[in-house]
Amino acid sequence: MGVVMISGSGFKRCSIDTVFYVEGNPGEYKLHKRIPTNSEEDEQCLAKAKCDSNDDDALIMAPCTHCGTKMFNIVGDANQGYVVTYDDGNQCLARDRSLGSQANLVSM
């Protein structure tokens, strides 16, 4: 069984383009996409597409200065698993099976 990882605004099998690292404090994490060595890509972070909307739950890869990058949290443990939340736990990162591999935020 393969491990499924986030890859920008979607989910896919674990590979170099699904590696992220976390920066910040709990509840204010930024999820940075790891850039491969010798790459000329600009640094990107996972972000909520529209910061001022509670109705739009779309995720995008955006510059790490984007307003939707700084409200993530990671909760859980190695035994039970982890969940990525947004906006003080009001939303959680999920995969909508009807959208295939598309990742989005769902209200908790």
pLDDT for res 63: 92
Task: Give Cβ neighbours of residue 41 (< 8 Å, ≥ 6 apart).
Answer: 35
Amino acid at 82: Y
Instruction: Map 46-71 to HEC letters.
Output: EEECCCCCCCCCEEEEEECCCCCCCC
pLDDT for res 66: 92
pLDDT averaged over consecutive 10-residue blocks of the chain (108 residues)? 49 61 89 77 86 75 90 86 86 73 76
CATH number of 4-107: 2.80.10.50
Q: Is the Cβ–Cβ distance between 83 and 92 less than 8 Å?
A: yes
Distance from C-alpha of 80 to C-alpha of 30, rounded to nearest angstrom:
23
- pTM confidence score: 0.73
* Every domain of the chain and the residues it spans: 4-107
